[in-house]
């Protein structure tokens, strides 16, 4: 990182100042100076007091003089209680701006570590909905950020293409579908199959009501359900490889996959490898059976297979039912083993909602108990629920907001703004270009609004708020980029200038400081598996640039070097906005 050398220089000089003591690097605490104080970097004095045998004020003052005498870029210092605030020279910031144009901040140095990140992982009984959207955007952005931070990243998903929920859709189509298809109904494949998942639930609830009305208890009604019994029987036939069931399964899954690909294309998301639960659960079953021999797992009298994790504050967990069928965690065991064989990963990240926190705690402990050393390298990127102003979604009841519908809605709202707002010279644009621009702006509104929120928090997606051009939004950042492109175009001939023969203005220095934070924010976001840190950085960059733009003239200055310097800063901001928004999966238009 750009500050590494200077931090090392300062730390070394602090150690040398206390050369007769046993002080080491752990006692030297350096941090950026808080905004309410004057300075650039701050040394915390308190840990140093036992080595100085002086008061706080004397220790800080003498250390400040020592650093100022030995480092020519430290121009002054001040002391606030137990903190020594160091101020760097303008020359330091000029050099920093110049460095920002070289080697892309050196942020792409290979770490020679493989990271696998799983996200999306849909079920083949319904379309991708709003909950999936947060998952997909978090996973894809995190993969891009990790790759930019120097890791070898592979993006994967496990497609949940087996189980009772899949059989419900299949059974409903078989009984009530009349051989209709996505083509015959002109319906997207995943929407088509999802319709039958909802229909099964409706028919099942009607069946339950009729049984209860006839005097059967609720519990008995479930046991007497013909529909549910048929779905369970279909699952058994599927696991036994029944030819007719397998043929139906493959046909309906192909419809869903075509629908998924259409949605992924809209989002600009791809995967390096797909895993299928219909395959990985077999690997899981095989390893669970091996684990019985090794006494990691045990069998009950009914032949079901379990693991007892009560010694770790967890519960007993079933891995195979008494009829030999696998449960959800069984396929996760198989998938994890297969992925390690495929990628030899140094870290495996699961992007899954926080309702599965316990599940992954159990999974990681099971893999550890199985003696798999790489189990220590498994991480759960847990995120909160995303909802709309009118409440939660329930896919069984059909009242979900699908990604395709949400994308269409946001793009349409963006189109109305383009047509109505004086920000856009719509008269010069044809209908196609307006449609293209509305897609770019609408997608930015949707993606940025979700990614700016800390993943751990629940969030409310508000369409109107997400597209506010004056708010903390993707379109605001896009508009800043377009504004800079207009400046660069109007400037015509200019030279990149990173130094000027005058004192830096506060707004110029502030922008340079934010610019050179880019690599450390990338690293921090990657380390903490938190794309919101980076998303909020981009907004802060755009907001501060607009403050600079409003306060200081950029073009038409009498002093050409001053003008070129401000254009240079503008250019760098635009480069970071473009690169940064692309990491979040967002494009930036040159004209708005």
Question: In this predicted model, what pLDDT tens digit does every residue of 313-329 receive, in sequence order?
Answer: 999 999 999 988 888 99
Domain ranges of the chain: 4-88, 162-268, 403-583
For residue 60, pLDDT beyond 80? yes
The answer to whether residue 537 scores a pLDDT higher than 70 is yes
Residue 430 has pLDDT above 70, yes or no: no
Nearest to 439 by CA among 477, 412, 419: 412
Residue 395 has a pLDDT of 44
Tokens of 51: 């080595």
Closest CA to 282 of 338, 231, 244: 338
Predicted confidence at residue 396, as pLDDT, reads 44
In this structure, of 26-30, 74-78, 337-341, the range with the lowest mean pLDDT score is 26-30
- Residue count of the chain, please give it: 592
Q: Which fold has domain 4-88?
A: Gyrase A; domain 2 (3.30.1360)
- Asked whether the predicted pLDDT for residue 424 surpasses 70, the reply is no
- pLDDT band for 27, please (50, 70, 90 cuts): confident
> What residues does 316 pair with on adjacent strands?
308
Q: What per-residue confidence (pLDDT) applies to 546? A: 98
* % of the chain exceeding 70 in pLDDT: 95
Letter string b/e over residues 208-234, b meaning 16 or more CB atoms within 10 A of that residue's CB = beebeeeeeeeeebeeebebbeebbeb
Is residue 319 helix, strand or coil? strand
Question: What number of H helices and E strands is found in the chain?
Answer: 22, 14
Give the whole-angstrom CA distance, residue 554 versus residue 551.
Answer: 10
Quickly tell me which residue has 């009118």 as its tokens: 390
Angle between helices 189-213 and 164-176 (to 10 degrees): 90
576, pLDDT greater than 70: yes
Digit-coded pLDDT (tens) for 287-315: 999 999 999 999 999 999 999 999 999 99
At 448 the pLDDT is 98
Q: Which of 389, 433, 435, 431 is nearest to 412 (CA)?
A: 435
Q: Can you list the pairs that 542-549 forms with residues at least 24 positions away whose Cβ atoms lie under 8 Å?
A: 542/476, 542/477, 542/480, 542/481, 542/573, 542/577, 543/476, 544/507, 544/510, 544/511, 544/514, 545/480, 545/484, 545/511, 545/570, 545/573, 546/480, 546/483, 547/507, 548/507, 548/508, 548/510, 548/511, 549/483
pLDDT of residue 106: 63
Direct distance between the N- and C-terminal alpha carbons of the chain, in angstroms, rounded to an integer? 34
The average pLDDT across 262-279 equals 96
Contact 238, 167 (CB under 8 A): yes
Confidence band, pLDDT 50/70/90 cuts, at residue 393: very low
Q: To which H or E segment does residue 85 belong?
A: strand 83-88
Mean local confidence (pLDDT), 157-168:
94
**Closest-CA residue to 73 (of 89, 60, 62):** 89
Q: Which of 238-247, 259-268, 422-431, 552-561 has the lowest mean pLDDT?
A: 422-431
Q: Which of 22-26, 46-50, 276-280, 489-493 has the lowest mean pLDDT?
A: 22-26
In this predicted structure, what is the pLDDT of residue 2?
67
**Number of CB atoms found within 10 A of residue 347's CB:** 18
Q: How confident is the model at residue 283 (pLDDT cuts 50, 70, 90)?
A: very high
Question: Residue holding tokens 């403050």?
Answer: 547
Assign 373 a pLDDT band (cuts: 50, 70, 90).
very high
CB atoms within 10 A of CB 18: 18
Stretch 492-509: mean pLDDT? 94
Asked if pLDDT for residue 380 goes beyond 80, the answer is yes
Q: What class does CATH assign to 403-583? A: mainly alpha
Strand order in the sheet with 305-308: 298-299, 305-308, 316-320
Whether the per-residue pLDDT at 397 is higher than 60: the answer is no
Q: Is the pLDDT of residue 399 over 70?
A: no
């Amino acid at each position: 990182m750009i500050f590494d050398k200077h931090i090392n220089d300062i730390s070394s000089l602090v150690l040398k100042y206390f050369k007769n003591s046993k002080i080491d690097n752990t006692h030297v605490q350096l941090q950026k100076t808080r905004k309410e104080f004057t300075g650039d970097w701050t040394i915390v004095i308190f840990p140093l007091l036992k080595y100085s045998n002086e008061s706080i004020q004397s220790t800080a003052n003498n250390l400040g003089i020592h650093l100022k005498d030995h480092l020519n870029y430290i121009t002054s210092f001040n002391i606030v209680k137990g903190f020594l605030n160091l101020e760097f020279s303008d020359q330091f910031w000029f050099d920093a701006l110049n460095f920002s144009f070289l080697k892309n901040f050196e942020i792409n140095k290979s770490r020679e570590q493989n990271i696998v990140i799983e996200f999306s992982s849909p079920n083949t009984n319904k379309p991708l909905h709003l909950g999936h959207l947060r998952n997909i955007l978090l996973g894809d952005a995190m993969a891009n950020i990790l790759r930019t931070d120097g890791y070898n990243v592979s993006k994967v998903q496990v497609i949940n293409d087996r189980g009772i929920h899949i059989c419900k859709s299949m059974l409903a189509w078989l009984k009530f579908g009349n051989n209709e298809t996505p083509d015959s109904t002109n319906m997207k494949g995943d929407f088509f199959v999802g319709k039958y998942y909802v229909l099964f639930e409706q028919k099942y609830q009607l069946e339950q009501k009729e049984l209860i009305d006839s005097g059967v208890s609720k519990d008995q009604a479930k046991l007497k359900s013909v529909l549910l019994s048929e779905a369970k029987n279909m699952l058994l036939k599927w696991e036994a490889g029944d030819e007719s069931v397998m043929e139906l399964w493959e046909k309906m899954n192909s419809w869903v996959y075509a629908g998924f690909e259409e949605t992924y294309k809209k989002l600009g998301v791809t995967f390096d490898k797909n895993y299928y639960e219909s395959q990985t659960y077999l690997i899981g079953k095989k390893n669970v059976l091996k684990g019985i021999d090794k006494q990691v797992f045990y069998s009950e009298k009914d032949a079901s297979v379990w693991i007892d994790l009560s010694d770790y504050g967890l519960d007993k967990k079933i891995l195979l039912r008494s009829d030999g069928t696998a449960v959800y965690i069984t396929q996760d065991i198989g998938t994890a083993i297969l992925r390690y064989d495929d990628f030899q990963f140094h870290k495996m990240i699961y992007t899954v909602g926080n309702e599965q926190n316990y599940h992954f705690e159990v999974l990681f402990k099971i893999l550890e108990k199985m003696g798999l050393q790489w189990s220590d390298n498994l991480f759960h990127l847990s995120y909160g629920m995303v909802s709309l102003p009118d409440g939660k979604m329930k896919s069984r009841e059909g009242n979900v907001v699908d990604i395709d519908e949400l994308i269409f809605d946001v793009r349409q709202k963006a189109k109305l703004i383009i047509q109505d707002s004086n920000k856009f010279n719509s008269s010069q644009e044809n209908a196609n270009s307006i449609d293209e621009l509305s897609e770019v702006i609408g997608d930015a509104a949707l993606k940025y609004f979700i990614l700016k929120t800390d993943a751990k928090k629940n969030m409310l997606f508000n369409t109107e708020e997400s597209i506010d051009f004056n708010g903390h939004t993707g379109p605001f950042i896009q508009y800043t980029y377009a504004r800079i492109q207009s400046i660069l175009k109007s400037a015509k001939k200019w030279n990149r200038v990173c130094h000027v023969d005058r004192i830096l203005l506060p707004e110029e220095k502030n922008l340079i400081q934010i610019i050179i934070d880019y690599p450390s924010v990338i690293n921090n976001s990657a380390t903490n598996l938190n794309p919101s840190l980076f998303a909020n950085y981009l907004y802060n960059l755009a907001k501060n640039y607009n403050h600079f733009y409003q306060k200081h003239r950029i073009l038409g200055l009498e002093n050409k070097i001053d003008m070129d310097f401000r254009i240079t800063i503008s250019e760098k901001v635009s480069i970071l906005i473009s690169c940064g928004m692309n990491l979040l999966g967002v494009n930036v238009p040159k004209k708005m």
